[in-house]
Structure 1
């Protein structure tokens, strides 16, 4: 159910991204760079298609715990849905906070923060390994008796709400700022300014941050990204880079407990103490030189056309994969993911990108033929 909601929302996402781009151009705001946006959308494609292959296992875990529920809530009652939305948002806050404060969880979530732009395309930039921890955090709701369909729908609605807050074109929203998570609040969350780090974790509501001491107001221009730059547009490498870094750090330590400490410590922790925040000079340099890859006009046209096809293919796979054999779903997912990786490689001028793109195009035709043969 949640996957279907996301899939059918894709055309709306694309339309709003195009609208935001047009409004930004009209206002002479430099909000979008093609190479970065291709990477952002590519991460979303990778995450959603990876979910086609893994979501069933996580949902089964929720159902398993739900069988031992303490209470029965009527899924037809409005009160059940209201309480579930509130509970899901509360759970989201604590999952999100833990994902910024525990190293191994940060490795699953950091993908969403790599972009040094801030626009609606960034909302699509997600990590493939976030679904597992988020379901685990939600298991107390299964034990309490929140029906699986209610939980999964509320979880999807919580995610959908957060799409629109990834924009710089909307300013303060008056009294709503006291209760709701808004674009202004979420810009703080994506910033690397020292005063903004580890703030504003809320999903739909900002009340949890106000209650638990993690709220920050905007009082200086945000500079976006992560304190340690990824310096890659590859949406697949983005999913694994911090895991590789954690493994490297753990391997350098002697003793089991020191190795484990590297995995669970705050991402800013080092054996010598907390890492230094970015200086004013470093923040200014980041703001003046956001990471991206310049793209020629001809390459821009090709990449845009292929990106539209990849997004459309992703939607088709998300909607139909449940009716396909597992091998065909896996092949289709791998093919579309290869396309997202190839486009990033093309804009970065990687030597492997052209062969991968040619192979991906050929495999796409083969997969389309297999799907049509089943129709």
Structure 2
């Protein structure tokens, strides 16, 4: 499995985040505990992404080969060559290829708008996206804060592209461009950008999207173009800087809980609901919907800006240092393991074993970052499991 355009962009993401950290120090744009939690969720997203992406490619290609319009009606292949081709006479522009790539990029962006909107309006899909919104900060590391499970549903939304005969690698390049574009809009340090605000998604638009203020909820879902929001009624302009995060703030820096808490909450709601109809509606209606048996729809709480404080537990410097150093080691190990699996130098069984280990490792580190006293048993289990896995890596 080869590196994607998104994989190649990660060093640039981290470099830009470092620049933002230095640039925004006086504005308190970053907090160490929030940022390491962001990066930890990004590592988990990358780890699960290998298997999810491989499965998506196999399914996508099967649909394209057997069920695309080209296959069913014996049409020519979808144009996928580069719009610019170097020949002996110099560079030549291929209009057909340019139009094909433009179509795919616009299609990917259009599908992303509806997928993104659905993750805010359908409860079981919100569970796979809430991780990204659970930070109370808004900076470039938040862009890397992604759910372990989001790719399953995001790729499923894009499967119709296979029916047009679009090669999977062409989709992945355009989808990667969309994701790279989305990275830079996660910043508080760039103001409004004039004419760009009318057409493209900008940091101002995306600050609104991450706001928990009632007037900002479920707005500005676009990936590259803000036009979709303007056309389909989900646009909101930034009038004041938002309060970032969830309407019910997540009081933890544990990346595992950030991935699972809505799934667990939804499961408990479904169990507590006697009506089978209401059980189904809980899954497909908005996240704040509740049946009458559970008290009816939840009201979005107003925010008192004068008393609002972010979750920020006080922990000792030694524990902070222990947590940061362990995170650095985990990050380095994850990069090494991802490289091995993509080069085909590690079995999926062993890779899955390391995935389970990372689950326990970050669960334990979450206790460190939250200032919890009882973390020793998790730390012991973590190191025992690591020893077993490293032994099998030889």
When residues 365 and 7 of structure 1 are mapped into structure 2, their CA distance, relative to the original with a 3 A threshold, is farther
When residues 247 and 359 of structure 1 are mapped into structure 2, their CA distance, relative to the original with a 3 A threshold, is closer
Deviation at 1:352, TM superposition (A): 5.0
> Which segments of 5 or more consecutive residues in structure 2 lack a partner in the other structure?
71-76, 82-96
Higher relative contact order, chain-length normalized (CA < 8 Å, sep 6+): 1
Identify the match of residue 349 of structure 1 among 371, 377, 382: 371
> Which structure has the bigger radius of gyration?
2
1:134 pairs with 2:134? no
**Take 2:380 and 2:101, find their aligned partners in 1: how far apart are those partners?**
48
Report the counterpart of residue 36 of structure 1 in structure 2: 34
1:279 pairs with 2:299? no
1:181 pairs with 2:201? yes
**Please, what TM-score do these two structures have when normalized by structure 1?**
0.91
1:51 pairs with 2:49? yes
Report the counterpart of residue 85 of structure 2 in structure 1: none
> Which segments of 5 or more consecutive residues in structure 1 lack a partner in the other structure?
none
Report the counterpart of residue 242 of structure 1 in structure 2: 262
Question: Is the CA contact 1:35–1:295 (under 8 Å) kept in the aligned structure 2?
Answer: no
Cα deviation 1:79-112 (Å, max 9, x = unaligned): 3222111110000000000000001111111111
Report the counterpart of residue 125 of structure 1 in structure 2: 145
Deviation at 1:358, TM superposition (A): 4.5
Question: Is the CA contact 1:74–1:80 (under 8 Å) kept in the aligned structure 2?
Answer: yes
Question: Is the CA contact 2:254–2:366 (under 8 Å) kept in the aligned structure 1?
Answer: yes
**Take 2:170 and 2:368, find their aligned partners in 1: how far apart are those partners?**
42
Q: Alignment partner of 2:69: what SS? A: coil
When residues 230 and 12 of structure 1 are mapped into structure 2, their CA distance, relative to the original with a 3 A threshold, is same
Identify the match of residue 105 of structure 1 among 120, 125, 128: 125
Cα deviation 1:121-153 (Å, max 9, x = unaligned): 111111112112111211111112211110122
**Take 2:363 and 2:99, find their aligned partners in 1: how far apart are those partners?**
44
Query: In angstroms, what is the RMSD of aligned CA positions?
Result: 2.1
Identify the match of residue 329 of structure 1 among 345, 351, 354: 351
**Take 2:56 and 2:312, find their aligned partners in 1: how far apart are those partners?**
35
**Take 2:224 and 2:353, find their aligned partners in 1: how far apart are those partners?**
36
Deviation at 1:308, TM superposition (A): 2.4
Report the counterpart of residue 90 of structure 1 in structure 2: 110
Report the counterpart of residue 69 of structure 2 in structure 1: 70
**Take 2:40 and 2:307, find their aligned partners in 1: how far apart are those partners?**
27
Question: What aligned pairs does 1:194-343 form with structure 2 within 5 A after superposition?
Answer: 194-272=214-292, 273-281=296-304, 283-286=305-308, 289-322=309-342, 323=344, 324-343=346-365
**Take 1:163 and 1:353, find their aligned partners in 2: how far apart are those partners?**
34
**Take 2:8 and 2:117, find their aligned partners in 1: how far apart are those partners?**
29
Range with greater deviation from structure 2 (202-211 or 358-367): 358-367
